[in-house]
Amino acid sequence: MSAVAGTHAQDHHHGPARGISRWLLTTNHKDIGSMYLIFSFTMFLLGGTMAMVIRAELFQPGLQIVQPEFFNQMTTMHGLIMVFGAVMPAFVGLANWMIPLMIGAPDMALPRMNNWSFWLLPCAFLILVSTLFMEGGAPNFGWTFYAPLSTTYGPPSTTFFIFAIHIMGVSSIMGAINVIATVLNMRAPGMTLMKMPMFVWTWLITAFLLIAVMPVLAGVVTMMLMDINFGTSFFNAAGGGDPVLFQHVFWFFGHPEVYIMILPAFGAISQIIPAFSRKRLFGYASMVYATGAIALLSFLVWAHHMFTVGVPLAGQLFFMYATLLIAVPTGVKVFNWVATMFRGSLTFEAPMLFAIAFVILFSIGGFSGLMLAIAPADFQYHDTYFVVAHFHYVLVPGAIFGIFASAYFWLPKWTGYMYDETLAKTHFWLSFVGMNLAFFPMHFLGLAGMPRRIPDYALQFADFNMVSSIGAFMFGATQLLFLLIVVKCARGGVKAPAKPWEGAEGLEWTVPSPAPYHTFTTPPDVK
């Protein structure tokens, strides 16, 4: 997977257009990747601000800062923005930047659609965020928007929310088609599927998941739209409809969705750990198969989100067994990462720190997931803070730390400069401590009986909530440091060589840093 010739032959190509039209009209995968990443970080800060409002209200028992109506809008918008605005676009951004570079392609297969799929996103989120200023407020029914709370009882802005979801879905599907078309058609000669970097593999599988489930999400919000505006009763029991149908359809989308948010991170971590262990990834083939197995199983477990809705016993057992089964391929991945580190030659730059934290903390999220899979026990855990702790452990040190690790790993390639390692390590440690302080006590709160999505709580939950809020403030404030590090790195510093990491492998390190505007116009030869 090495050896390329003559990247300087590409220098004579024209550079980017000038001014705003460069960004509006660009079809360049690097520009679009950067826009995705910047958009994602903006949304991360916005969704994070909402999390700060939530944690501020929960700092003490009683209602201090916001009213319950607004609190519910904050939890809903925080979830929607983080899932659809921060995590998913960040991975699409990474895919745009890195997949062509990793497989030796000159660009994405469908560059104009690429532009379109990006620019839909700001439109969608403008609509979504504008609901905050509408009469009756923003969506207030949780990011899972269960009917009939979101239909018959939803605020007037729900229709705008549905429209925003539709646009996001279109954007995601186009992004996914682009990834599949690129990976299947544009690999450099000699790069067989089983020679592809893990990041490309996990994204290929993610893209299939996206194409499979985003239409399901579109379907469920369309049914809502009909119920709200055109007098149907899909989810209205009074009209012969079925509120539980909503949950089945939603979670048929929702469960693969959580893997959509984590598989690309698995891929990135599988690039980073070998690089800083100076040792090849252990069990490459089993990593590929495990990813595929996780993706397939993700279609068979949706009702584990619904253990308390009254699923019949046989269904309950099936979904419990299928869910437990997911632990097996997930375990294989973790064991492979540890085996990669074992007897390597380790150094601990920021990407590696985030990657190690990813493995440990994601595993903790996986363990609580295993506990939640035990259906009888889930009757106690369900809809408590234990669940909040669980999915924040898989999403924050999982997806988000995976994104940070990737960002630090490839920043030198993107900007041509090394980032400030001391600041980056500070960012890591503050994030690590803040994140654990914020989310670990939530396990205790949930086990002690605190339901999720409440603006006020009984007195026995007061202390851990205060600890959790302090941790959350710490984590939130720390992210401004990341902004500083990236801006600083983009503006200059120590020049980065083509391959700044001693143990890194792959085609992306064969082009200069920063990567020229056009790369691999002649395909490299992969041995």
Partner 1 sequence: MRVHAQRVGALSGGLLFPALSMADWTVNMTPGVTGTSNDIFDLHMTIFWICVAIGAVVFGIMFWSIFAHRKSQGAKPANFHENTMVEVLWTLIPLVILVIMAIPATATLIDMYDTTESDIDIKVTGYQWKWQYEYINEDFGYFSNLTTPSDQIRNRQTKGENYLLEVDNPMVIPVGKKVRFLLTANDVIHSWWVPDFGVKKDAIPGFINEAWTRVDKPGTYRGQCTELCGKDHGFMPVVVKAVPEEEYNTWVADQKAAAEKERELTQKDWTMDELMERGEKAYATACAACHQVNGNGVPPAFPALRGSAIATGDIAAHIDVVVNGVSGTAMQAFGGQLNEADLAAIITYERNAWGNKMGDMVTPKEIFDYKNQQ
- Determine the Cα–Cα distance for residues 314 and 281; give it in Å rounded to an integer: 41
User: Which of the residues 373 through 392 are near partner 1 (CB under 8 A)?
Assistant: 374-377, 379-380, 382-384
Nearest approach, Cβ of 448 to partner 1 (angstroms)? 4
Q: What x-and-dash track marks residues 479-508 binding partner 1 by CB under 8 A?
A: ------------------------x-----
CB within 8 Å of 379: residues ≥ 6 apart: 307, 308
Map the footprint of partner 1 across residues 57-86, applying CB under 8 A: 61-64, 68-69, 72
Nearest distance from residue 434's CB to partner 1, in Å? 15
Binding residues for partner 1 restricted to 305-344, rule: CB under 8 A: 308-310, 313, 316-317, 320-321, 324-325, 327-328, 331-332, 334-335, 338-344
> Among the options 172, 182, 415, 513, which is catalytic?
172
Q: Do 301 and 255 form a contact (C-beta atoms < 8 A)?
A: yes
CA distance 423 to 428: 9
Dihedral sign of CA atoms 334, 93, 130, 227 in order:
negative
CB of 87 to partner 1, least distance (A): 22
For residue 293, the minimal CB distance to partner 1 (Å) is: 10
Q: Which residues contact 453 (CB under 8 A, 6 or more apart)?
A: 72, 75, 142, 383
- In the residue annotation, 443 being an active-site residue is answered as no
- Listed ranges 145-153, 393-401, 477-485, 493-501: which one lies at the site for partner 1 (CB under 8 A): 145-153
Alpha-carbon distance of 98 to 66, in angstroms, equals: 42
Q: Which is nearer to partner 1, 238 or 487 (CB)?
A: 238
Q: How far is the CB of 329 from partner 1 (least distance, A)?
A: 8
- Of 1, 38, 211, 447, the one binding partner 1 by CB under 8 A: 447
Q: Rule CB under 8 A: choose which of 2, 25, 136, 184 binds partner 1.
A: 136
Q: By CB under 8 A, is residue 2 in contact with partner 1?
A: no
What is the distance, to the nearest Å, from the Cα of residue 369 to the centroid of all Cα atoms in its chain? 17
Q: How far is the CB of 71 from partner 1 (least distance, A)?
A: 9
Q: Is 278 in the site for partner 1 (CB under 8 A)?
A: yes
Q: How far apart are CA 277 and CA 127, in angstroms?
A: 45
DSSP state of 496: P
Let me know if 427 is a catalytic residue. no
Instruction: Mark whether 2 is an active-site residue.
Output: no
451: three-class secondary structure by DSSP? strand
- Please confirm whether the linkage preceding 514 is cis (ω < 30° from 0): yes
Specify which residues 451 forms β-bridges with.
384
What is the 3 state secondary structure string of 170-214?
HHHHHHHHHHHHHHHHCCCCCCCHHHCCHHHHHHHHHHHHHHHHH
How many Cα atoms sit within 13 Å of 484 on the Cβ side?
12
* Marked catalytic residue, from 55, 304, 382, 518: 304
Known catalytic membership, residue 308: no
Q: Is residue 194 involved in binding partner 1 (CB under 8 A)?
A: no
Which residues in the 153-182 window bind partner 1 by CB under 8 A? 153, 155-156
Annotation says 305 is catalytic: yes
For residues 17 and 26, what is the distance between their CA atoms, to the nearest angstrom? Answer: 8
| Residue 402 to residue 399: CA distance in whole angstroms | 5
Active site residue 278: no
Stretch that binds partner 1, among 11-19, 163-171, 360-368, 402-410 (CB under 8 A): 360-368
